[in-house]
A and B are shown apart, each in its own frame.
Chain A
Amino acid sequence: MNFEKLMFAVFAVMLTIGIGSATAADKLRIGVEGAYPPFSWKEADGTLRGFDIDIAMMLCASMGVECELIEQDWDGIIPALLNKRYDAIIASMSITDERKKRVDFTNKYYNTPAIFVAPEDSGIEISASGLAGKRIGVQRATIHQCWVEKAYPDAELVLYGTQEEVFQDLAAGRIDAQLSDSVQSLEGLLNTDAGKGFAFVGEAQEDLECFGEGAGIAVRKGNPELVQSFNNAIQAIRADGSYQKLSDKYFGTDIY
């Protein structure tokens, strides 16, 4: 087979594998998840909704670029970014050192704090001595386990496979308090019927080592201009108050 024939064969194959050949990067393509309410979910008619989605559109408007949202399963969300299926991920991705080895992050665009939840009338005090000997539930292998072990070593740690089980055991009275993401606690427990009689206790827990900086936008390495324009856009929507309005609509508070 001579060279032309070979090239022809290669091109024929390329064509038959159905090329979406979006060579020109005229649109900014953004990967989103669509299965993590209230940050992103899918309506019955197929439209994507949620805080992440609205933030993405808002940032694009602020940057003055046209954006296209591309839905992607969470398990493949970083590989698809590396394979150039899209140029950025806006999917509530926490900025962690592990992920920083493969992608670059913008500054955080939100950071929902971890807050303890306990029965309203428990009078439990969130301090190293106040929690000593108390049974504290957390989901295992999370930033929350990391923090309870670090800050409240005398508490009796009770570990669960899912956050749902933590809520159930708290409602059943098997643990004295639990620590999890505050938005998740609101959505999963406090705003539901099962959450009656329970409330947040203590301050928002903060620790850079355990909790990281919050959720950021991931982009492929070696794109400092894109990171910079996202950072500028985040600053801009903070400065003009549109971020706060959006956050208030979803969570009743500013989650930056």
Chain B
Amino acid sequence: MEALFEYRQSLIDGTIVTIQLALASVVLAILFGLLGAWAKLSRNRIAQKSADLYTTLIRGAPDLVLMLLFFYGGQKLIIDLGDWSGLWGYVEIHQFTAGAVTIGIIFGAYMTETFRGAILAVPRGQIEAGMAYGMFKLQIFTRIIWPQMVQYALPGFTNNWLVLIKSTALVSVIGLQDVVYNAFVAGRSVRQLFTFMFAVLVIYLILTAISDMGLRWLDRKYSAGVRRA
């Protein structure tokens, strides 16, 4: 227990990285998810097919494999491209960026399905009414679809978010010093791995409990006007 106190700064720093990473990734995941949902629902066959390919591929492969593939594969690709074209020598993909983009891409695939379902739940007639009023597509989206789809998407979104927070632990593989990485190094340095893993468990529980409260508040806000059975 003394060791935990001694290494507290490292745990706090790691927790901050974990939170930042989760927030950055979820923003990207929402963007990819909306884009994917739009593509899947569009009448453009190329958009449809590529969105199908995206969700099938990403949801079918283990997160860890994708993480290693994007980070090391992407880095190698950029270096090889530089060598080949002679335009740049060594460049390093920033680990935080790589981690956030990878998790964003992975969870964007899950968000795509969540958002697609939510958009389909918005009554078609309302969208047609919007068109009849001469609204632009963006107006229809912000005024009619978005306020209603959030309510339908929230349960699925909450699930995705909770899984996403825990998936951030994967980034310790690429050397990003998140809470899991720091706890591992500290735990092995003082030979008290179990103590530190327990601390990590508690930290994740606190993070998920806080986000659960936040999401419930959002749920209440967006369900205003809907009677709870």
Contacts and interface: CB of A to CB of B under 8 A. Distances in A.
Given A73-B173, A75-B173, A85-B92, A44 B10 contact: yes
Interface of B: 6-7, 9-10, 68, 72, 75-76, 78-79, 88-94, 96-98, 172-175, 177, 181, 184-186, 188-191
Nearest to B8: A44
Given A20-B94, A46-B9, A72-B175, 18 more contacts: A14-B78, A14-B88, A14-B91, A19-B94, A20-B91, A23-B91, A25-B90, A35-B185, A36-B188, A37-B188, A41-B189, A42-B10, A73-B172, A73-B173, A75-B173, A76-B72, A76-B175, A84-B90
Contact count band on A: 20 to 34
A79 interface: yes
Contacts of B72: 76, 79-80, 83
Contacts of A123: none
A206 to B, nearest CB: 29
Contacts of B76: 82-83
B188 A35 contact: yes
Contacts, number: 82
Contact of A42 (B96, B172, B175, B185): B185
Most buried by A among B88, B90, B181: B90
A42 B189 contact: yes
A71 interface: yes
A48 B222 CA distance: 50
Interface string A37-51: 100011111100000
A256 B202 CA distance: 43
20 contacts: A14-B88, A17-B93, A18-B94, A19-B92, A20-B91, A20-B92, A21-B90, A23-B90, A34-B185, A42-B10, A42-B186, A44-B9, A44-B10, A44-B186, A71-B185, A73-B172, A75-B173, A80-B175, A83-B79, A85-B92
Given A20-B91, A20-B92, A21-B91, A73 B188 contact: no
Contacts of A41: 185, 188-190
A220 to B, nearest CB: 12
Interface in A143-157: none
Contacts of B177: 71
Contacts of B184: 35
Interface string A243-255: 0000000000000
Contacts of A45: 9
A22 interface: yes
User: Mostly helix, strand, loop or mixed at chain A's interface?
Assistant: loop
Contacts of A20: 91-92, 94
Nearest to A13: B78
A23 B88 contact: yes
Contacts of B190: 41
A22 B90 CA distance: 6
Contact of B173 (A35, A71, A76): A76
Contacts of A76: 68, 72, 173-175
Closest 3 CB pairs of A and B: A18-B94, A41-B189, A35-B188
A73 B94 contact: no
Contacts of B7: 44
A34 B88 CA distance: 31
Nearest to B75: A83
Nearest to B92: A20
Contacts of A73: 172-175, 181
A36 B191 CA distance: 9
A214 to B, nearest CB: 22
A203 B92 CA distance: 48
Interface string A42-63: 1111100000000000000000
A65 B78 CA distance: 28
A43 B190 CA distance: 9
Contacts of A79: 68, 72
Contacts of A82: 76
Nearest to B6: A44
A80 B173 CA distance: 11
A71 B6 CA distance: 20
Contacts of A36: 188
Given A79-B72, A85-B92, A37 B191 contact: yes
